[in-house]
């Protein structure tokens, strides 16, 4: 199995240097590393050139290939591996990440995709003390429930669908909400910044250009379409750390707008004709989360404004989920 690592980056030279440093000490690393840099300056190029001991191929692209989905499609055409792994530039894989990822692919030859694990370490065994509204439980494990989920559960707006699956009313839990129990979980979608795919499938379906720029929920769109060709797994043994570099991220208003509009898009891509109860729950949940963000200080208020404008846009002219 030949594994190609693709890293798409924009204006994050420090994150790239940290990621490359971590790859130097990796066990059974990728056969090739493709870096697609859309930065307008040479800072990232200079940082990457320090690592000429790695099997690295660097590509600097112009505006015609700028944006996460465009850069991933560009990288897909440059890779030569059987499996393509996409890592965000602010993610640091554990030393045995590639060993565990390869092992998962070998355990599941029917898979079309395998996602890595970015879950937290705050899970505890379930006991009577950890049952209740403020706890989220999965197969004998429990963790503290965020306030927004507590409110949703209290109002009957929290789906019973397992993590990594989109319920008919949308707004499900991400695949990273599984505990670090070493299991391989069948899911419907994985986080794009730590996901691997069969190269033939990735080249065939490509990443949607609907998600311009930052591309929020582009990974869910890709997963839903790729899942038509086979199973997708979350490998909780393939662990990595997400450092959430703020550089290159959209402003709060734009982010909030994408939460609403892109969220609606992928929901209706998965559920073409949800029933009226599912539609009502989606709208109620969206306005509830919008209201919660209004209480999050200045940044939260600006993001909530973006969410509100996005919801109004959907009412007037919904995007076409094709």
CA distance 214 to 185: 28
Residue 225: C-alpha distances to residues 18, 129, 322 (Å):
32, 41, 11
Largest CA distance in the chain: 58
Taking a C-beta distance cutoff of 8 angstroms, is the pair 266, 220 a contact?
yes
Total length of the chain: 322
Sort 205 into a burial class: Cβ within 10 Å, 0-12 / 13-18 / 19+: middle
Summarize the chain as % helix, strand, coil (round to 5): 45, 20, 40
CA atoms within 13 A on the CB side of 56: 21
H or E element at residue 163: none
Taking a C-beta distance cutoff of 8 angstroms, is the pair 247, 17 a contact?
no
pLDDT in tens, 173-231: 999 899 999 999 999 999 999 999 999 999 999 999 898 766 789 999 999 999 999 99
Does position 256 have pLDDT exceeding 90, yes or no?
yes
pLDDT in tens, 4-56: 999 999 999 999 999 999 999 788 899 999 999 999 999 999 999 999 999 99
152's tokens: 């949703």
* pTM (predicted TM-score): 0.92
pLDDT at 322: 46
> pLDDT tier at 273 (50, 70, 90 boundaries)?
very high
């Amino acid at each position: 199995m030949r594994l190609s690592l693709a890293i798409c980056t924009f204006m994050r030279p420090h994150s790239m240097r940290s990621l490359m440093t971590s790859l130097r000490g990796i066990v059974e690393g990728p056969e090739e590393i493709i870096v697609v840099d859309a930065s307008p300056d040479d800072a990232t190029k200079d940082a990457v050139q320090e690592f000429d001991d790695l099997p690295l191929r660097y590509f600097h692209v112009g505006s015609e290939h700028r944006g996460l989905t465009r850069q991933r499609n560009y990288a897909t055409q440059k890779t030569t591996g059987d499996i393509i792994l996409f890592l965000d530039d602010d993610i640091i894989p554990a030393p045995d990440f590639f060993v565990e990822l390869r092992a998962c692919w070998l355990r599941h030859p029917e898979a079309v995709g395998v996602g890595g694990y970015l879950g937290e370490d705050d899970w505890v065994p379930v006991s009577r003390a950890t049952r209740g509204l403020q706890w989220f439980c999965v197969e004998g494990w429990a963790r503290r429930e965020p306030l927004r989920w507590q409110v949703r559960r209290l109002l009957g707006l929290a789906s019973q669908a397992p993590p990594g699956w989109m319920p008919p009313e949308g707004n499900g839990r991400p695949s990273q909400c599984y505990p670090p129990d070493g299991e391989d979980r069948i899911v419907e979608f994985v986080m794009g910044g730590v996901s691997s795919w069969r190269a033939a499938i990735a080249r065939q379906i490509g990443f949607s250009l609907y998600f311009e720029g930052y591309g929020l929920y582009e990974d869910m769109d890709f997963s839903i379409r790729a899942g038509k060709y086979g199973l997708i797994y979350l490998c909780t043994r393939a662990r990595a750390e997400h450092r959430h570099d703020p550089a290159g991220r959209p402003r709060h208003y734009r982010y909030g707008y994408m939460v609403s509009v892109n969220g609606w898009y992928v929901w209706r891509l998965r559920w073409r004709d949800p029933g009226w109860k599912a539609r009502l729950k989606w709208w109620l949940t969206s306005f509830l989360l919008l209201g919660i963000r209004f209480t999050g200080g200045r940044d939260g208020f600006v993001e909530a404004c973006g969410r509100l404008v996005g919801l109004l846009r959907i009412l007037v002219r919904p995007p076409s989920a094709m």
